[in-house]
Homo-oligomer: A and B are copies of this chain.
């Protein structure tokens, strides 16, 4: 007997929500629900903790924050008439749980709790939540859907196989997964193997947007039981991915009630409303996803766009309209200005040159040329008179002492003061321009070039800065960041003929050591065994360990590597242990 194909139309929403903005977030979700109705979506999926935003951190300790989150979940439930919806929220029941609500036709049918709580890297979930005891398979519109939350599918004891064994045809994972380079590949690899090994359709729904130091990249995915990607959400953009999935591609499993799953997980089943398997749709109605499936950024393009989104969201979500930064004519400030323009538009970026007696003429002309290429407002504030007034003031006290980094730091701090004065006077957020190689080695001045609200390149090594500049110039089709900026040897220009290489190894060498030491916790022996020069390695390790106090006072920045400075790497300042043995 000839049957209609069993097809479920999935809608994966990846809204850019704001932590604590319950009303604003809710309105975004409402617009998605309208869209879902219009497109006849069978199951609409929202990300982890979409109601309150992620990560709420210690706001979770405030009872009224939890209440507010429950109020808005209930509003979402009431607004879901005629729809099936899965959405992340904070469940409160003696303890707090990172949970998913299963909603059918205006009713909260069930909640499912996150089992594996990440408490490493940037995550502190065990500080707030208790783990869920089990995961479940829900019959939604006649389709057996296994539900999991973020870490649940990443953990070595992940319940994917158990859910499949329990009869799940589709496994939904709602996530708020912070971006770092290479993670996209990791995700696809994991989901592909899980889909294939368990012959299930994997539905990965991820949040999008910047939240302080984290960027959530969206890039939601739907894979068929063969591990082929059926649909892909936009990366670094809000999106609502609608895709029809043919369930006949999944071996139709016997539904095993109350089967006892491995890893102490028990399995329940819920019949959510009536069976309402979609009709097959006419071509015209069918959403075309072919293009999306092929859309992918180059590695450098991916990082660049992460920085743009992280910058835009930090500035805008904190209610700033414009930014100001010092343009030295160097490659770091040139890249920061370019990212800022891509994030906010040229009318929102102000560049200021602050030359001293040590500034090369080339640096100033390069800064002007960049400002012209970007079409941003630009002016110049020379610092020499102010510098001299400090020196005169301290002449008596400094009498007889050598000129040293004190005078260099002073120039950087005068520039910091000028940029902050512009920030205070006009309400522009100041953007420091330092990169990760400088943050790591302390080759930066506290309260000087480190001063500002948001350090876009804080987690970007110098060698990557050059790659991102090349990417952006290629995209522009011309040297929007001038070649003269790129080819000049890096210099802080705080004394005559100064070069970064006077104090640091060449960046190609330095960044390799920093990756090994900071990101991979390699010992000096291990790094030397990798062929790195022992003396250089020891020097770099000393610099990194000795700069912890500086980093502790650095502004927030955007995490793009596997280990950023900040809460991703929590080291004591007072510390006599050094990696150098």
Contacts and interface: CB of A to CB of B under 8 A. Distances in A.
A572 B393 contact: no
A42 to B, nearest CB: 32
B571 A59 contact: yes
Interface in A446-472: 446-447, 451, 453
A348 interface: no
Contacts of A571: 57-59
A417 interface: yes
A421 B406 contact: yes
A91 interface: no
B385 A19 contact: no
A386 B390 contact: yes
A329 interface: no
Interface in A74-130: 119-120, 124, 126-127
Interface stretch (A218-226, A245-253, A433-441, A553-561): A553-561
Interface string A392-404: 1110011001001
A82 to B, nearest CB: 30
B58 A576 contact: no
Number of copies: 2
Contacts of A390: 386, 417-418, 421
A498 interface: no
A572 B21 CA distance: 12
Contacts of A61: 521
Nearest to A23: B576
A393 B418 contact: yes
B19 A318 contact: no
Interface in A530-570: 549, 552-556, 567, 569-570
Contacts of A314: 574
A206 interface: no
29 contacts: A18-B576, A19-B575, A19-B577, A20-B575, A20-B576, A20-B577, A21-B577, A59-B572, A59-B575, A63-B521, A63-B523, A64-B523, A119-B124, A124-B124, A126-B126, A210-B574, A317-B574, A379-B397, A383-B393, A390-B417, A390-B421, A394-B418, A401-B425, A401-B426, A404-B424, A413-B420, A446-B451, A552-B556, A553-B553
